[in-house]
Every structure is written in structure tokens, then in C-alpha cells.
Amino acid sequence: MTDYLSSGQLPDEYQQLAKTVRDFAQTVVAPVAAEHDANHTFPYKVIDGMADMGLFGLPFPEQYGGMGGDYFALCLALEELGKVDQSVAITLEAGVSLGAMPVYRFGNEAQKEEWLPQLTSGKSLAAFGLTEPGAGSDAGGTKTTAKLDGTDWIVNGNKQFITNSGTDITRLVTVTAVTGVKENGTKEISTILVPTSTPGFTAEPAYNKVGWNASDTHPLTFQDVRVPQENLLGERGRGYANFLRILDEGRIAIAALSVGAAQGCVDESVKYAKEREAFGRPIGANQAIAFKIARMEVRAHVARTAYYDAAALMLAGKPFKKQASIAKLVASEAAMDNARDATQIFGGYGFMNEYPVARHYRDSKILEIGEGTTEVQLMLIAREAGL
């Protein structure tokens, strides 16, 4: 994959994976997407199908129940799913890159053996408990606390906008919490593993969202949640730094999902422009429509190239923070711009929720917010440029 940018051709195993997921997306996901969106229901049968395909284990070693693939394989799957249903795609993205990946990256062997086989199977989900009512982009503003009481951590606080946190198969939340004060007076932030069955843990009622209506999202409450001291994930005081690494990787995954959404809008617009007639000919024969779709295709292509580049650097073990931010920024804006243009091309039909472009229009805005806002990406890019 690392030489794709020069060769222009993905290796066979990646092409086959993309085709398999594409077929699944078209035949299994797409037919029920509008229904789940309208009813705000979590697509358990679809998720079961993805689990059976091994998608939740794509980037993890076989010793933990994974498929032995890599992060780019996950991104290809996200792109294909994102074309037809962003809610399903974000369920996979959050389940893998935000749910299971912290355990894999920073867990000890006992934690990996306990949790990863459950999570890589897709039969259980984990959530990423970072954002709080007063700590979003300013994650250092974390107020949730974890205090040692004998051999246990006592966790108290609140999290919000947490994906995959309240489903029937959610089993774990990794939580950032203040565990002390450093010598310089700043907060010591660590990460604690909290099984969702622990007394005092509550997934509050789900949000009524603009989009991603088939994705599970809840605020969380931790009231005297007691977990063993060995549920510390990674080194004490490294929770914030470790989660920043997870977010860097996750931005590549979100970029891939965004590219899928952008390309999905292109595909739907091309089909519609060929079929829809006005004034005696297909609307695609008009340059105003044809040129708009051409620009949409350009955005999707450029964004795809950006996330391929970031993924290649990551897999090669090279610095990729700036490229991940560039990919996330370019791709999320491409998704939003393409959704707006596709809705315009569809006219009145584009304003009807049963059409995929209408769902993309509602779904895509969060891509410019989640896992680091557009403004955060600009800040990171400028910082990496030396400003």
C-alpha cells in the first residue's frame, strides 16, 4: 500500500476487501438504512453481519481474535460503508479505533487477553470516554476524577457525545479521569477501564441528533463507580497523551469515512443526472450540473489521496500527525460540500429524507466537528508548520 501513490493501484488483498465490503454495503446496509435513520434504531443485524465478516478485527493480530490486517484495511472498509450509511460506518470506526485500539495500544497483556477477543469479534463494543460538558476540544479541562481507595479506583463525573456507549452489546468504556496533580500544578490525567456492568455507571437517554440517527450516542454518568486498581490503562498520568495518539490515528479513519460519504454523493448524483429529465433531456447534459458533479469528483479524489498518504506514513512508522489533520480537514469538508451540491442537484427530492443524499446532508456536518473540529485541525497543521 505504501507505494500506491506512485503506482496508482492497490494490492489485490486490499481490492478484494474493498469489493467484499462494497457488496455488503449495497446488498445489506443500503436497503435498511432509511428505516433505521427514520426510526432512530441501532442496526443490530447489520452489525452482526459486519462482525461475522471480521470487520471489527481488521487491524488486530490473530492472537487476539483479529484478522491480522492493518489500519489501512479498516479505512477501506469505512470508505465503502460511508458511501451508503454513515451511522453504520461510525459504529465500526468508533468500535475499532476508539473502542478497542486503546486497549491494544496501551493495555497490559492481561487486559488485552480479557477484552480484545470480545471486541475484535464485534459481538461486544467498547466506547471512548473523553469528551465532557466542559471539555471538548480542550480535553485538558477534564473534570471526571478517579481516586484510589485501597486497591480500587473510585470514578465520579460525566462524559457526553459518547458513541457506542449504550447499546445492548456495549461492555466497556475507557475513561479519561483526573487521578492527581503533577509537580508543575497541572492535572494528572489517566485512563481507567470501566465495564458497563459496574454499579454507578449509567448511560443516560440517547441524544436526539441532527444526523447519524442509527448510531448510538449517549451522555454518561459515573457515580462512585468502583473498579480494581489494575483497570488503569497504560501508565498513570499518560492518559491524555495516549488519547491524543488515538485521536491522531482516528482522524485518518474519519477521513476515510468522509471520503466514502463524498463519493457516495457523487455516485448518487451521476445516477440521478442520467435518469432525471428536464426540458426534454437528462439534466446531466447541462454543463451547470455536469461541472458541479465534476467538482464533487475532484473533492473526493483529493481527499482520498490525502488519507492514503496519511495511512502510508502511519504504517511506515513515520510521523503522520500533520498529514492526518490535513486528511481529516480536507475529507470532512469534501463530504459536507458534496452533500450540499448533491442535494441541490436532486432539487426537491434532495430534501426528502428517504433519499441517500438527504441523509448525507444531515450526517456530514458532524464530520467537521467530531474527533477534532476543523479549527483544531487548522491549529495542529499550523503548529506542525512551525507557527
How far is the CA of 381 from the CAs of 272, 317, 323, in angstroms? 37, 19, 8
Pick the closest to residue 94 from 140, 30, 47, 53 (CA basis): 47
The CA-CA-CA angle for residues 137, 139, 144, to 5°, reads 135
123 exposure class (CB count in 10 Å sphere: 0-12, 13-18, 19+): middle
Percentages helix, strand, coil for the chain (3-state, rounded to 5) are 60, 15, 25
Which is nearest to 15 in space by CA: 85, 299, 23?
23
Q: Map residue 107 onto helix, strand or coil.
A: coil
Q: Is residue 99 within 8 Å of residue 164, measured between CB atoms?
A: yes
268 catalytic residue (yes or no)? no
Cα separation of 44 and 87, whole Å? Answer: 12
- Of 13, 371, 375, 384, the active-site residue reads 371
Catalytic residues: 371
